[in-house]
């Protein structure tokens, strides 16, 4: 969905809210959540769904390769 009268929102890897590649920070910025909360949720899901741990790592790497970096200056 696109905001009326404004530019379309795009998902980018964050340059300012990054720990590794900025994927979770970028997702947090996109959905409007604090990046720390998004990281905690990512870690909790990874811990409590052990078979998903390898999938989480692969998903993160795939998203880091697919999602472009933010165009703003670092």
Query: Which domain covers residue 60, as residue numbers?
Result: 9-74
- Does 3 reside within a domain? no
pTM of the complete model: 0.76
- Does 64 reside within a domain? yes
Q: Do residues 17 and 69 touch, judged by C-beta distance below 8 A?
A: no
Query: How many structural domains comprise the chain?
Result: 1
Q: CA 21 to CA 59: how far, in whole Å?
A: 12
- Does 44 reside within a domain? yes
Please, how many CA atoms are within 13 Å of residue 67, restricted to the half-sphere of its CB? Answer: 22
Averaged over successive runs of 10 residues, the pLDDT of the chain (74 residues) comes to 66 87 92 93 82 78 92 66
Q: CA 2 to CA 9: how far, in whole Å?
A: 7
- In this prediction, residue 49 carries a pLDDT of 76
- In this prediction, residue 18 carries a pLDDT of 83
- Does 4 reside within a domain? no
């Amino acid at each position: 969905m696109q905001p009326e009268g404004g530019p379309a929102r795009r998902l980018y890897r964050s340059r300012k809210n990054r720990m590794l590649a900025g994927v979770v920070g970028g997702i947090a910025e996109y959905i409007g959540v604090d990046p720390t909360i998004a990281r905690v949720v990512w870690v909790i899901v990874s811990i409590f769904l052990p078979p998903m741990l390898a999938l989480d790592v692969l998903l993160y790497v795939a998203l880091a390769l697919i999602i472009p970096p933010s165009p703003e200056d670092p």
